[in-house]
Amino acid sequence: MSDDTSMNETPTIETHTEAKSTDDRSPASEADADVAGMDDQSIGEETVIEARDLSVFYGDERALQPVNVEIPDRQVTAIIGPSGCGKSTFLRSINRMNDMIDVARVDGELLFRDTNVYGEAVDPVALRRAIGMVFQKPNPFPKSIYDNVAYGLRIQGKDDDLDEQVESALRRAALWDEVSDRLGESALDMSGGQQQRLCIARAIAPDPEVILMDEPASALDPVATSQIEDLIEELARDYTVVIVTHNMQQAARISDKTMVFLTGGELVEFGDTSRIFENPDNQRVEDYITGKFG
Ligand SMILES: Nc1ncnc2c1ncn2[C@@H]1O[C@H](COP(=O)(O)OP(=O)(O)OP(=O)(O)O)[C@@H](O)[C@H]1O
Ligand SMILES: [Mg+2]
């Protein structure tokens, strides 16, 4: 698994969607079956994030054409596309990280469980606990391993069973066995792959519903990349994962749904990963996936 992470050759892409067990997912109600705007196997899937004519501008420059998409609960949705096409912009719009960029302006609606996250009543800090984020470069705090994971819990005053909660988050991030005897050591002394799993543990400790990841493995070696990929598939049992990746084999391996953005900030295609990679509707998507451009 770790020897084919290069995306430079024209990929023979195998998708995992068919093999994935959905047994442990809670059954959706009848009403949830009515999810307009989603193609492929959308029946029975519950939507957790929905964009309605969502546009993002930086100053006068439009970075995203109006995006309409419904992202299903407890699956992995991959976002792919060439550099500068708006992948990070879209990802950041989901938990209002674009608020941090002065010139950024958002138009349209982004619904998280039917609440428009750009509504006046929404507290962006609380939103980001429910929709956590992991970045390309691991960014642990210059604190101990334990304090990194405990950080969000302490802020929320959820520090009753702190030891158990820290252990649980580290276990869910597949890191516990490697760090259980060195929790007091600095997070900065860990390897890059361990630091990234620590950042994942930090993001899941406050028990979010959604985890956004922007190229979380692109700074890691193949072994650490493979560990992160395994972890992402595991996390999707409990969380909705939305991941930007430049690595198309990675998208094909780990995601259930794929969004393809192309130059100009246009969401050109969205659907089941297996179909997008094997039989895309759009010729430009096919050209991109087969490496003819991008
Ligand atoms: N902070 C910013 N200020 C101004 N323009 C920005 C800012 N961030 C992104 N942009 C512009 O918005 C467009 C989309 O950028 P974005 O970073 O979302 O692309 P991306 O698909 O994530 O690219 P990459 O694959 O290189 O990470 C680009 O034209 C970029 O120059
Ligand atoms: Mg980006």
Judge whether 77 and 257 are in contact, CB under 8 Å: yes
Between the CA of 89 and the centroid of ligand 1 the distance, in Å, is 6
How far, in Å, are 85, 146, 199, 212 from residue 194 at the CA level?
A: 30, 13, 9, 18
pLDDT of residue 131: 97
Pocket probe for ligand 1: among 7, 60, 67, 85, the residue whose CB has the most ligand atoms within 8 Å is 85
pLDDT of residue 14: 55
Measure the CA angle with vertex 147, ends 213 and 168; round to 5°.
65
Q: Which residue has the tokens 């442990």?
A: 24
Between the CA of 143 and the centroid of ligand 1 the distance, in Å, is 31
Does residue 83 line the site of ligand 1, with CB under 6 A?
A: yes
pLDDT of residue 78: 98
Does residue 87 line the site of ligand 1, with CB under 6 A?
A: yes
Ligand nearest to the CA of 85: 1
Between the CA of 79 and the centroid of ligand 2 the distance, in Å, is 10
pLDDT of residue 35: 37
pLDDT of residue 262: 96
Residue nearest atom 3 of ligand 1, based on CA coordinates: 58
CA distance 287 to 26: 37
CA distance 276 to 40: 10
> Where would I find the H helices in the chain?
87-94, 124-130, 145-155, 162-172, 176-179, 192-204, 222-235, 248-254, 273-278, 283-289
Does residue 89 line the site of ligand 1, with CB under 6 A?
A: yes
Does residue 96 line the site of ligand 1, with CB under 6 A?
A: no
Low-confidence ranges of the chain (pLDDT < 70): 1-44, 293-294
Neighbours of 31 (CB within 10 A): 8
pLDDT tens per residue, range 9-50: 434 455 554 444 444 444 444 444 333 344 566 666 899 999
pLDDT of residue 292: 79
Instruction: Sketch out the chain's domains with CATH numbers.
Output: 41-289 (3.40.50.300)
Write out the residues surrounding ion ligand 2, Cβ under 5 A.
Answer: 88
Residue nearest atom 6 of ligand 1, based on CA coordinates: 58
DSSP string spanning 92-156?
HHHTTGGGGSTTEEEEEEEEETTEETTSTT--HHHHHHHEEEE-SS----SSBHHHHHHHHHHHT
Ligand nearest to the CA of 97: 1
pLDDT of residue 42: 60
Atom of ligand 1 nearest to the CA of 81: 21
**Whole-prediction pTM value?**
0.87
Q: How many residues does the chain have?
A: 294
Pocket probe for ligand 1: among 7, 58, 247, the residue whose CB has the most ligand atoms within 8 Å is 58
pLDDT of residue 26: 42
Judge whether 270 and 259 are in contact, CB under 8 Å: yes
